[in-house]
Amino acid sequence: MYAENSVAYLRGDYYLWADDGARLHFWVHDGADGWDASGWAADMDGARRTDRMRASGVSIPESVLDEYVMMRIAELIELGNVAPTIDRALRHGNFGGEALAVRADAIKAALRNIR
């Protein structure tokens, strides 16, 4: 059952859609979602870690996520949620957030008046 407000972002080999703003879904056309290439569930020799036998996830091309991010930024601008979303993202403290942390104020200022 599809939610009334579900949104399809990308269609094709990689299908990304959101269900009513609650969850983002990643589907891969051939089922090869690359979870085993992520490495976080394996030890140094590539064997599955016994404490992560049920681990799961997806690994899709970064360019696919880049396309989604641009669509989502436009939605966040429309909703007026850019600044709160940036603030939440920065609370995670991951290395990937360094670029955002350095530019957070500039991004907020640049997007503040776009409608």
- For residue 36, being part of any structural domain is answered with yes
Query: Which ranges of the chain have pLDDT less than 70?
Result: 1-5, 21, 36-39
Q: What is the pLDDT of residue 97?
A: 86
Residue 70 lies in a domain: no
Question: In this structure, is residue 25 part of a structural domain?
Answer: yes
Question: What's the domain range around 11?
Answer: 1-60
Show Cβ contacts of residue 67 under 8 Å, excluding neighbours closer than 6 positions: 9, 10
Is 77 inside a domain boundary?
no
Task: Give domain status of residue 82, yes or no.
Answer: no
For residue 18, is it within any domain? yes
Contacts of 15 (CB under 8 A, 6+ apart): 8, 25, 26, 27, 28, 29
Answer whether residue 49 is part of any domain.
yes
Is residue 5 a part of any domain in this protein?
yes
Our count of domains for the chain comes to 1
Residues linked to residue 26 through DSSP beta bridges, in sequence order: 16
